[in-house]
């Protein structure tokens, strides 16, 4: 079982939900990422997604687009992100790490070389936003050959036939996109999310995480009623953006929102008020 699967099993045994947090590797500068990863873990994150900076992050809203711009301006590429994960692993061999991003940087390295180097650095899973599962067999084979979990997105508009196909390839967790649109957009409809999560669970026993649009501990608490995990990116990256130039303030702001999200997820169901 991968670190991802083990972490979900741990939280399930504790009757708690899993908190997946995202930051863009190299944002706001390369030296900031590893300390922020540790800070996320120390304040309640269970899984960390590290964004691979890309020049055209078409599935992301302006907050994460700007984070990619800052990272690229500071010279962070995919190789640099792998070094950050390797550095993180020097003192944390337990927290699952997922690389999230777009296919082009992976193709530049080559699927087998990327999977080999990612596994050696301590990566546990990979989510490529712009690779349809129907076209992903070569990358999936490379990932599985190095014991990496391929993680796929399911959208509100995904038909059941395709949900079955996606879930047949997924491991680690299935990432349900709670909103139509880009990251950071829209307003959550928890009943609608719950209905879609129930549909996904008909196709797989793999845990289901829900992301896009989670802004607060209250949002996390509400989604924790229906999902195995809550995935939060924009709410964290926006705290980084608000404090660029002051690493201490960035750390404090990231800590504050992570504690809020963790507290929300740990709120007993009876206490959650819509």
Place of tokens 């990231």: 254
Tokens of 219: 């949002």
Tokens of 143: 């990932």
Return the DSSP state at 66. H
Tell me the pairing of strands 47-51 and 208-211.
Answer: unpaired
C-alpha span between 257 and 204 (Å, rounded)? 31
Tokens of 196: 């879609």
Per residue in 153-162, is it b (16+ CB within 10 Å) or e — as a string?
bbbeebeeeb
- Which of 9, 14, 42, 60 is an active site residue? 60
* Residue 134 annotated in active site: no
- Which of 46, 49, 149, 228 is an active site residue? 49
H/E stretch holding 150 reads: strand 149-151
C-alpha span between 222 and 164 (Å, rounded)? 26
* Residue 60 annotated in active site: yes
Residues 44 and 20: beta-carbon distance below 8 Å: no
Residue positions annotated with a catalytic role: 49, 60
């Amino acid at each position: 079982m991968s670190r991802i699967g083990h972490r979900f099993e741990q939280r399930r045994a504790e009757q708690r939900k899993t908190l997946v947090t995202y930051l863009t590797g190299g944002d706001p500068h390369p030296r900031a990422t590893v300390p922020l990863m540790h800070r996320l873990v120390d304040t309640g994150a269970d899984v960390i997604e590290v964004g691979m900076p890309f020049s055209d992050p078409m599935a992301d809203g302006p907050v994460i687009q700007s984070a990619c711009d800052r990272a690229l301006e500071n010279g962070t590429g995919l190789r640099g992100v792998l070094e950050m994960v390797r550095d993180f692993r020097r003192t944390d061999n337990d927290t699952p790490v997922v690389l999230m991003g777009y296919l082009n940087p992976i193709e530049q390295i080559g699927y087998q070389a990327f999977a080999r180097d990612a596994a050696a650095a301590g990566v546990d899973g990979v989510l490529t936003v712009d690779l349809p599962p129907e076209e992903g067999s070569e990358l999936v084979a490379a990932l599985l050959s190095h014991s990496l979990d391929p993680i796929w997105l399911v959208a509100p508009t995904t038909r059941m036939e395709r949900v079955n196909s996606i879930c047949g390839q997924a491991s680690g967790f299935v990432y349900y996109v709670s909103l139509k649109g880009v990251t950071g957009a829209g307003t959550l409809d928890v009943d609608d999310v719950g209905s879609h999560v129930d549909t996904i669970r008909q196709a797989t026993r793999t845990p289901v995480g829900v992301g896009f649009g989670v802004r607060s501990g209250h949002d996390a608490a509400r989604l924790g009623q229906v999902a195995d995990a809550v995935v939060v990116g924009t709410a964290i990256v926006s705290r980084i953006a608000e404090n660029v130039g002051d690493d201490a303030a960035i750390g404090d702001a990231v800590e504050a929102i992570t504690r809020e999200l963790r507290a929300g997820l740990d709120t007993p169901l009876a206490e959650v008020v819509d």
